[in-house]
């Protein structure tokens, strides 16, 4: 997996990248009570705000970590947004992105670098 400075994790699966937020991010947000996801088929550019999260502490946006197309979203988060807290790197994923340039992920952090960032 790779990590962004915005506390997103990126897990390559074939030709798509699964994207979610880290356990550190969920701890900072507190209990997530609402998630608004993008529509599949949406073309995004790195840095675009594409997911809205509301928690008991704050509202926050998730940005696109790479250029590409949203190919799938985790619709279960609409009904059970707390899954992002309970299983952030598993069932709490947000969307799957088909990157327009898969090499963009090479610029993101590995686990050691992310751990150093949050410590």
Average pLDDT over residues 55-64: 92
pLDDT of res. 97: 97
**Per-residue pLDDT reduced to its tens digit, 16-28:** 999 999 999 999 9
**Full set of structural domains in the chain with CATH:** 2-105 (2.40.50.100)
The alpha carbon torsion through 2, 19, 66, 51 (nearest 10 deg) reads: -140
Rounded Cα distance between 27 and 37, Å, is 20
**111, containing H or E segment:** helix 111-118
d(CA 28, CA 48): 22
pLDDT digits (tens, 9 = 90+) for 30-47: 999 999 999 999 999 999
Q: Is 90 exposed, middle or buried (0-12, 13-18, 19+ CB in 10 A)?
A: exposed
Name the residue among 117, 97, 50, 12 with its Cα closest to residue 2. Answer: 12
Task: Tell me what pLDDT residue 13 has.
Answer: 96
Whether 102 shows a pLDDT value over 90: the answer reads no
Q: What percent of the chain has pLDDT over 70?
A: 100
**Mean of the per-residue pLDDT values for the chain?**
95
Global pTM reads 0.94
């Amino acid at each position: 997996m790779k990590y962004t400075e915005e506390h997103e994790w990126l897990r390559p699966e074939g030709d798509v990248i699964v994207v979610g937020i880290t356990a550190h991010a969920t701890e900072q947000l507190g209990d997530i009570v609402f998630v608004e996801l993008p529509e599949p088929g949406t073309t995004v550019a790195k840095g675009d705000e594409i997911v809205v999260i509301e928690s008991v502490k704050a509202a926050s946006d998730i940005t696109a970590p790479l250029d590409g197309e949203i190919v799938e979203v985790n619709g279960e988060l609409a009904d059970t947004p707390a899954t992002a807290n309970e299983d952030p790197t598993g069932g709490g994923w947000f969307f799957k992105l088909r990157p327009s340039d898969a090499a963009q992920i090479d610029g993101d952090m590995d686990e050691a670098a992310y751990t150093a960032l949050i410590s």
